[in-house]
Amino acid sequence: MNEQHQFYVGGAWVDPAVPRTLGVLNPATEETFASISLGTEDDVDQAVKSARDAFATYSQVSVAQRLEYLERIIAGFRARLPEIARTMTLEMGSPITFSTERQATVALFHFEEAARVLVNYNFEEVTGAGIVRREPIGVCGLITPWNWPLNQVASKVAPALATGCTVVLKPSEIAPLSAMLLAEIIHDADLPPGVFNLVNGDGPTVGEAIAAHPDIDMVSLTGSTGAGIRVSKLAADTVKRVALELGGKSANIVLPDADLESAVTAGVHSCFTNGGQNCQSPTRMLVHHSQRDEAYAIARRAVETVRLGDPLDPDTTMGPVVNQTQLEKVTGLVQSGIDEGATLVIGGPDRPDGLDTGFYVRPTVFGDVTPQMRIAREEIFGPVLSILHYESEDEAVEIANDTPYGLAGFVQSGDPDHARRVANRIRAGRVYLNGAPFDRSLPFGGYKQSGNGREFGRFGFEEYLEVKAVLGYPQ
């Protein structure tokens, strides 16, 4: 049993204020393989005090020194990348190949990107009769999810440290161990005590204490839209900055001039990436009515190539969903699709053959989905694709935008200019054209109930800065 019962506060591993533990499940075996402590408001208070004390000096640290800290973290991360990848596979079920090539690697990228932005960033500029300064916002409370357990941590921690902020992090209690490895890496990088702090715990206790704490200047959350609403309300009393990256129900418009075989195949696999446990997954595929039957046949072939199984097997392409709660949610929504009259193209709510242990879900595709069905409106967060049909381009855009979410969109066309024109009409923070890769130097965030603020690259960096105007200089 891997017992991780301390928190990282003030540059040291410390015992919780109240002993209370929680088991960490391996979703492939359903066995408890580790345990952590659950924090309290007192633990948050201590971490915030440590971060507040450290901010006074760390906010004045030179760019060169902050770059040195980041480079030490990057070197430590690279050295432990295989361990980090395996830990994420054990705690949330991501296949080991995916954990290595994507989960761990992209988390490392955020530190590299923060260093890249920092080295050339102009924190002061003369404007008119004064100076505009960009200064670190202060103590940042960071609340992160289980689906990309270190990527989302790094996307917040890296720019916060780069800009001169101090941090109190609450990783998901479902998948906390990779974040604790990052805390060890940061400790070995010799940052000043209190700059980075980690307190494990659940959302209603530790998360809410962070959101409401009067000495936290900014809270950044990645999670459900419901959690974002709750955090915003708690943060409002102290008028702190709130950055939210929330849910999604992204549309993938396959235009009639697209290569249908390529577009549908790629769309299926993109929807099922990370077991479908992605906020920006293209879970609604929009196909022209005339291409209905052909699209279904292509989708079936794509699903048949998915290898579901042991996530530690390097040949596995899809592991389990994260826990029993998620399993029941996904299969319940699959059943709702059947009950509401959608065509089950492939998959279904039953347990996959030969996988009697673990939280495994059949990769599923529905056709003849209408915009009002639950599977077309709710974020399923599992390997379920809904195919909807349209007659005109205007109707496709209307369906794509008919959602309370606006995190991402996808457009497939044989004509890049045509794809671009349609992309400009989609109300979402990101739109991918023709299978474009996920670029973490470009801003990421949502319209509508998918959140506010942006992460990644320069835009994510600037979320952690305040803007100050100094007037009367030079005279």
The helix/strand/coil state of 314 is coil
The helix/strand/coil state of 395 is helix
How many Cβ atoms are within 10 Å of 180's Cβ, its own excluded? 21
Is there a catalytic annotation at residue 466? no
CATH 3.40.50.720 assigned to domain 251-441? The reply is no
Query: What are the pLDDT tens digits along the chain (475 aa)?
Result: 899 999 999 999 999 999 999 999 999 999 999 999 999 999 999 999 999 999 999 999 999 999 999 999 999 999 999 999 999 999 999 999 999 999 999 999 999 999 999 999 999 999 888 999 999 999 999 999 999 999 999 999 999 999 999 999 999 999 999 999 999 999 999 999 999 999 999 999 999 999 999 999 999 999 999 999 999 999 999 999 999 999 999 999 999 999 999 999 999 999 999 999 999 999 999 999 999 999 999 999 999 999 999 999 999 999 999 999 999 999 999 999 999 999 999 999 999 999 999 999 999 999 999 999 999 999 999 999 999 999 999 999 999 999 999 999 999 999 999 999 999 999 999 999 999 998 989 999 999 999 999 999 999 999 999 999 999 886 6
Peptide bond between residue 149 and the one before it cis (omega within 30 degrees of 0):
no
Instruction: Using a cut of 0.75, tell me whether the model's pTM lies above it.
Output: yes
Superfamily of segment(s) 2-246+450-471: Aldehyde Dehydrogenase; Chain A, domain 1 (3.40.605.10)
Match 């109930």 to its residue by tokens: 449
DSSP secondary structure letters along 66-85: HHHHHHHHHHHHHHTHHHHH
The helix/strand/coil state of 316 is coil
Task: Name residues whose C-beta falls within 8 Å of residue 188's C-beta, 6 or more positions apart in sequence.
Answer: 72, 76
Dihedral pair phi/psi, residue 306, rounded to 5°:
-70, 130
Helix (H) / strand (E) element for 4: namely strand 2-4
Task: Name residues whose C-beta falls within 8 Å of residue 30's C-beta, 6 or more positions apart in sequence.
Answer: 324, 357, 358, 359
Report the candidate in 431, 428, 439, 409 with the shortest Cα–Cα distance to residue 110.
Answer: 439
Q: Which residues of 40-69 are buried (b: 16+ CB within 10 A; e: fewer)?
A: bbebbebbbbbbbbbbeebbebeeeebeeb
- Whether residue 366 contacts residue 387, with contact meaning beta carbons closer than 8 Å, is answered with yes
How many Cβ atoms are within 10 Å of 138's Cβ, its own excluded? 20
Choosing from 173, 245, 455, 463, which is the catalytic residue? 245
Residue 475 confidence (pLDDT):
60
Outline where DSSP puts E strands in 128-283.
130-136, 139-143, 166-170, 196-198, 218-222, 241-245, 251-254
- Whether residue 283 contacts residue 386, with contact meaning beta carbons closer than 8 Å, is answered with yes
Residue 127 confidence (pLDDT):
86
Dihedral pair phi/psi, residue 49, rounded to 5°:
-60, -45
The helix/strand/coil state of 330 is helix
Report the candidate in 250, 282, 255 with the shortest Cα–Cα distance to residue 447.
Answer: 250
Residue 29 confidence (pLDDT):
98
Residue 259's identity, in one-letter code, is: D
- Whether residue 158 contacts residue 456, with contact meaning beta carbons closer than 8 Å, is answered with no
Report the candidate in 301, 278, 282 with the shortest Cα–Cα distance to residue 98.
Answer: 278
Spans of all domains in the chain: 2-246+450-471, 251-441
Q: Cα 146 vs. chain centroid, distance in angstroms?
A: 8
- Whether residue 383 contacts residue 276, with contact meaning beta carbons closer than 8 Å, is answered with yes
- The dihedral of CA 420, 444, 311, 252: what is its sign? negative
Residue 424, Cβ density class (10 Å: 0-12 exposed, 13-18 middle, ≥19 buried):
exposed
The helix/strand/coil state of 102 is helix
Helix (H) / strand (E) element for 212: namely helix 208-212
Residue 473 confidence (pLDDT):
82
Q: How far is CA 260 from CA 11, 134, 183, 257, 288, in A?
A: 55, 48, 46, 8, 10
- Whether residue 316 contacts residue 308, with contact meaning beta carbons closer than 8 Å, is answered with yes
Q: Which residues of 139-151 are buried (b: 16+ CB within 10 A; e: fewer)?
A: bbbbbbbbbbbbb
